Amino acid sequence: MADQKIPQVTAKRLPLYYRYLEKLHAIGKQRVSSAALAEALQIDPATIRRDFSYLGELGKKGYGYNVNYLLQFLRDFLRQDEVTNVVLIGVGNLGTALLRYNFYRSHNTKIVAGFDIDEGKIGMDIDGVPVYSMNRLKEVLELHSVEVAILTVPVSAAQSTTDQLVNAGIRGILNFTPARLNVPSHIRIHHIDLTVELQTLIYFLKNFPTNESKGEQNG
């Protein structure tokens, strides 16, 4: 298995490929070329071929890629057949929206519980997801074998909540707060900083009115 050393950027593009291949499969497409993928996904065809080449020789010269085969390969590689349970901490506006976002339907990632400290929210059921008190954190994580948390608490509570998560055995955090979280080195954190994304977009618009620098297409 060529599993060993996929570049970070490639790992982030694989779900994109997967999603598009699903679409192709759905409409009955049998084959696809890197050029066609490139057109649809707005990624350079050479980059796409290189990405796939990390996983093995998945295509055939003069033909392209077999949609079914590639789809199945990526499904295995990305372990799309395993459901991954996650929890969400902080059932505010954004938290509630994400609970309702339903990652599950399309991506085998399931939010199995929400947590909050607001008594008024504890006990609620949001689109089938129960909201618990924080002191049931460890219990629920163990029950559902949860290793990943989505953090949507106010920034003031971010670090203390993170400490609780680490304590309860979490391994990955998707952090929507602007706080830079302090965690042991074995914990993985991905930040999504909505304000920074918006500010950066505005910065580039104001300073480079014409789009001369192609610029990355992701947060």
Partner DNA sequence: TGCCTTTTGTGATGATATGCACATATTTAT
Partner DNA sequence: ATAAATATGTGCATATCATCACAAAAGGCA
Contact residues: DNA, CB under 7 A: 7-10, 33-35, 43-47, 49-50, 52-53, 57-65, 213-214
Q: Binds 178, which of DNA, its own copies, none (CB < 5 to 8 A, cut-off by type)?
A: its own copies
Assess 168 for contact with its own copies (CB under 8 A): no
Q: Give bridge partners of residue 32 from the DSSP assignment.
A: 65
Output 58 or 187, the one with its CB closest to its own copies. Answer: 187
Output 5 or 186, the one with its CB closest to DNA. Answer: 5
Q: Binds 49, which of DNA, its own copies, none (CB < 5 to 8 A, cut-off by type)?
A: DNA
| 148-151: strand order across its sheet | 125-126, 129-133, 109-116, 84-89, 148-151, 172-175, 188-191
Q: Binds 19, which of DNA, its own copies, none (CB < 5 to 8 A, cut-off by type)?
A: its own copies
CB of 196 to its own copies, least distance (A): 5
Q: Give yes or no for a contact between 174 and 151, defined as CB atoms under 8 angstroms apart.
A: yes
DSSP labels, 48-82: HHHHHHHH---SBTTTBEEHHHHHHHHHHHTTTTS
